[in-house]
Amino acid sequence: MTAEAEQLRQDGHHIEKCSLGWLLLSLAMWAWFGYRSLMDDNRGRFERIEDSRAPVGILALAVIPTIITTATLVYARVLFRLARRTS
């Protein structure tokens, strides 16, 4: 294996480890969103939500780490394929 391919492979492993951190953050944010949206059972199903901005904000914050997780995983896979082709 060439030095360039080895460096690409190591970079891929590093990016993959970073994506696991983003994945954990993403799962925590989605769990927080689920908890916030399911915690108030006293409200009727079609009743107007008084504080409707909080769940939407949490949802928006949960989407960001999910997109970053996906992007870093794809980037790691690209690095692994490049390493395979250069070796």
pLDDT tens-digit series, residues 35-44: 887 776 656 5
Q: Which of 53, 3, 5, 63 is nearest to 29 (CA)?
A: 63
What does DSSP assign to residue 50?
A: T
Around Cβ 65, how many Cβ atoms within 10 Å?
19
Q: Over the range 8-29, which residues count as b (16 or more CB within 10 Å of their CB) and which as e?
A: bbebbeebbebbeebbebbeeb
pLDDT tens figures, 55-80: 788 888 999 999 999 999 999 999 99
Provide the whole-model pTM.
Answer: 0.76
* pLDDT at residue 40 in the model: 63
Handedness of CA 36, 40, 46, 48 (dihedral sign): negative
